[in-house]
Each structure stands twice: as C-alpha cells, then as structure tokens.
A and B are shown apart, each in its own frame.
Chain A
Amino acid sequence: MDRLLNYHLATLIPMIIILYLYIYGVIGSGLFAILFCLYAFIYRPIIDYKRLRKKGLVTKEEFIKSFGFIRFNYYYELLFEK
C-alpha cells in the first residue's frame, strides 16, 4: 500500500506543481510545455520503469527498446496494484 501511495505522490506532485506554476503565471506556455514534456517523457517513464522493475515485470533492455511504451501494457499494475 505504501509503495502505491509513494508512487502516486512521486508522479502527481511534480505534475501539480507544473500546472500551478503555469496557471498562476509564474511560467509562460513555452516553459510549461518544456517542463511538461520533461515530466512526461523523462521523469514519468523513469518512475514508471522503477516501479515495473521492482515488480519484476520489465527489464531495462525491454524498457529502452520500447522507448517506454511498454508501460502502457501494465496500466493496472502501475496505477492500482499494491
């Protein structure tokens, strides 16, 4: 349960911070897009990969070879499974 909670906190908090920075005008739309892409295409896949590897579902080679798309096969395991 803690692992699932930690995973959700690790994925949601940076995203919420980026969204709030943008909506309160601290960053413009260009920087928002850059930060969000960094989150979505670098940070998030790394967090997802770590969780999937701990569960023994993917290897580093499989993850890199699929450009991270393999995590879509494990949607339930990532978001809901303890």
Chain B
Amino acid sequence: MRTLMIAAALMTGVLATTGAMAQTPAQTLRIGLQEDVGSLDPARSAQVVDRIVFASLCNALVDIGPDLKFVPMLATSWTTSADGKTLTFKLRQGVKFQDGEPFNAAAVKANLDRYRTLPASNRKSELASVDHVDVVDPYTVAIVLKAPDAALLATLSDRAGMMLAPNTLADPAGVATHPVCSGPYKFVQRVQNDRIVLEKFDGYWDAAHYPIQRVIFQPIPDSTVRLANLRSGSLDMLERLAPSDVNTVKQDPNLRFVSVSGLGFYDVTFNVGNGPRGNTPLKDKRVREAFELAIDRDAINHVIGAGIFTPANQALPRSSPYYDAALPFTHRDVAKAKALLKAAGHEHLDIELTFGNSTVSSQVAQMLQAMLAEAGINLKLRPTDYAAALNAAHNGDFEALFTGWSGRVDPDGNLHQFNTCAGNLNYGHYCNAKVDRLLNDARTKPDVAARKPLYDAAVKLLADEDPIVYLYAQPWPFALSKKVQGFTPYPDGLIRLRGVSVKG
C-alpha cells in the first residue's frame, strides 16, 4: 500500500513537472524573422519585415491571391469611374476593430486622411494621387483622385490601406507601441529585438478559418542560429532561409522547405549621372553591356543560390501578368564582352562595386569579381554597412552598386521610382524621356491590356540601355517544421495564417 502511495506521488510529481515544462500551448506558432521589426504603425513602417507582422495584425482594404490578383478583404467590391478618377469601395459589414469599435466608411476616411497628412507618414507619396476621400454611406467610401492612378489598388492592399481603430489614432506614440487593428490576431506584447506576441482576436469576421491561437515573432538575424532554433524545436517556422542551408533543410526529415520566387529583384545599378563619380566609362552603353555579358546568372544561382536565385532580366517578377516573357536573356559571352570593351576603347577597366555587407552580398560580389576579371574588368569591392551604403547611393558616391528591392504587386512599384528621371530610388540618375513617358502613361491606364504594351516597350528600352543589370529575383525561402500544416507561400513573401495549424 505504501509503495503504491509513493509511486502515485512520484507519478504526480513527474506529470506536474512535465506539464510545467510544456510551456507552449497547442496552436501557438513561433516564427523566426530575419530582422527586427521597425515601427508597428503602418504609417511609419519602412521595412519589408514589418509587413509580415502586419499580415496577421491588420487587414487592408483588399488583399492579393497567390496569382497576384486582388481579392476582397475589408472591401467586398470596388469600381472605378469612367474617367478613372474615382475609386468606390463597398465595405464588409459586421467587422469590428480589436478594441470593439465598428468598422465603417468613417473609419476608412480617418485612416486614409491620416496616412496622407501625418507629418512623418511614409505613405504620403504612395497616396500622392489622392485628392480627397468621401463617405458616401456607412459602408461605401469613394476615393477621388487628382489623376487616374492604376497602381492605387495595389497600394491599398499594402500598408496604406491598413485600417487602425479610429479611437486610437489621436495618440501617435500609442499606435506604434500598441497598435489596434482589425486583423485576425491582436497585439499583446513587444520586446524590441526579442519578440512580438499576437493573440487570436475572437471577434474577427473570419475567425473560424484561423486555428492558431497565438503567434510569436522572434527576430533572429543570424541565419545559422535561426535554423538551429528551428531544428531544435524552439521555432515552428522561419522566413528567409539562407541559400547555403537549403540542402540541409531538404534532407532533414523533420523539416519542410517551401520557396516561391518573389516580387523583387537584386541588381547592379550603374552611376551614369549622379555627381562627379558618374563620369566613368560606364556612361558608355557598350561598357554596361559588356559588364552584363561577363555575368553568368546560372552560376550565381547554382553556387550561391542553391537553385533559388531565379535569374532575372527585367524588373518585373515572373508571377506578374505584366512580365515580358519575350525579352531574351543575355547569356555569358566573354568574347563578345571583350570585343565591346575594345570597341569602346576600354580594354582593361577598373570599376568599384559598392554593397551593403552581408554573407550573400559578399559572396555575389566576389563571384562577380571573378567573372568580370575574365573579360578584362577589374572589379574593386567596397563593402560597407547598410546605412553607409544608403548614404553612398543617395550622394552618388559609387560607380556600381549591388542592391535589391523587395518588390511591389503593381509593376509601377518596381519600375517608376528606379527609372524615371526624378525617381526617388533612381540612384544612378539615369534619364530617358521616352522611358519617363511610357512609365507615366502606364500609370493612368485602367487595365492590364492597356498597360502591358507600355511596360513591354519600357522594359525593352531599359534592357537595351542597361542602366541596371538585373541579376536574380528575390526568393522567399521558408523552412517549416513538419508539424505546421496548411501554409502557402505568396510571391510577396508575407505569411498568411488562414488555414494554417500546428499539429500537436
């Protein structure tokens, strides 16, 4: 009898401790992020990684499907007026914000006005075409534009279309530290550089399709450590797996590798007119072409990219309906490159490549250096840290710049700012009036059929002039524990948790 009692006591003790150790309740998803999130206020957010958190925290007016077509979210339908200057949205009814406030057209107006007028708002230029917002009735809102803007719908699927609870808008500091949105998960806690915790919002209009109860985002910048955490079970999934770890994950029976080619790209931008350093042989089109001819994109993909660095020859992603499939790829041709350089009068050339230091960018730079050397171009490497690279880019303190762009749904987002004469992100100051006309025009046309020919023409011109050599499309490689079910990657790299569950 005594033995039985002791055994029972021991059992209870053991069970109690194991119970205490199983801290993570079922249906908690722990996600490893590549970097720490910046501001949690959609108006101030400026990083790609912020959008991953927003995907669960907030709803925008519309969303995209895996095919990049727009689907209803907070808006159930939308129409554009004949002159293209008014965009009318019919809003979903019965939606509540995470603090209980009702969602309606007034809330939409309040948010859009805030994005357009808040002094430090990063969304102002995105909404530059908006003249004013009208509340037609409680569930209909009309956005009146100064000029037709085909890219606006895409903008409203991103941060500029995310709706915060109106009562919280008055306190900007509060929004950043405790955002209240209308998404499937509400904000619980944030410890900078450590974690962001979200909890299921039971009042969400589509709550039934979200099995996960708790989401914990953990920024772990070191990709090796991030993967180590996944393998040891401290994480359930991670984003932006390092290419060098792809094979390890593929071979691990407990993990699953899921990847999709993204909306963005990595490229080498030439300084052709930004300040005194723009006066290099790179001003000659033939030199730029030779540069591109010396590059073997497949080798980069194979050696550094583990097969996920899909070669790119244009700014637009393959998943986009605007992608120009007819544009030929420039394959490596060292002899032709040498001939071009000779014709341009620069048989041997020194070019400096500036880049923000990271493992992958460093490898790509070194590989480029080796490839270009064979064509007679001596590529000098100038690694810097990210902030200094940005500075150099703005001030034209570079000859060639290796950089990237996370990509936007609308083709305008990948082209306009980079290639128009006054473009914000046109670091090389490339200027071609024809390209400007084409890209500005394409912004105002109403549909794919009307816009595609314009983009095709622009892309062809750019491929011919080569102010930017596109290397590969930005991939979104995810590694998941086998326990995670139902996850689909989207080309925008966001983690959408609808239908995602964790097997216990």
Are A and B interaction partners?
A: no
Interface residues of B, Cβ cutoff 8 Å to A: none
